[in-house]
A = this chain, B = another copy of it.
Amino acid sequence: MEKLSGAQIEAAMASVPDWRRNGAVISRTFQFKDFPAAMKFVNAVADLAEKAWHHPDIDIRWNRVTLALTTHDAGGLTERDFDLARQFDRLQSPPG
């Protein structure tokens, strides 16, 4: 999988508006009502990650979960990162 160009990354970022980019990494923090709800999300993320064989960094802070994606093998961001980010976004119930 090839590293995306700057223009491709800009286009891909538009598909994940809640994620922010820091160099070759995109990340998003998800917030839940409590720790068990956060863990439920983490397990769903883990299932998707293992299926995609692409694993985000996962930081759990009680009810907040931060996911960070990059493609180490490509030395940058690839379509795999954005595919998975979109899958993670779909896991979260709509707000409200």
Contacts and interface: CB of A to CB of B under 8 A. Distances in A.
Nearest to A36: B50
A60 interface: yes
Copies of this protein in the assembly total 2
Nearest to A61: B57
A57 B43 CA distance: 16
Chain A interface size, under 10 / 10 to 19 / 20 to 34 / 35 or more: 10 to 19
B59 A57 contact: yes
21 contacts: A35-B46, A35-B49, A35-B50, A35-B55, A36-B46, A36-B50, A39-B43, A39-B46, A42-B42, A42-B60, A43-B43, A55-B62, A57-B59, A57-B60, A57-B61, A58-B58, A58-B59, A58-B60, A59-B59, A59-B60, A60-B60
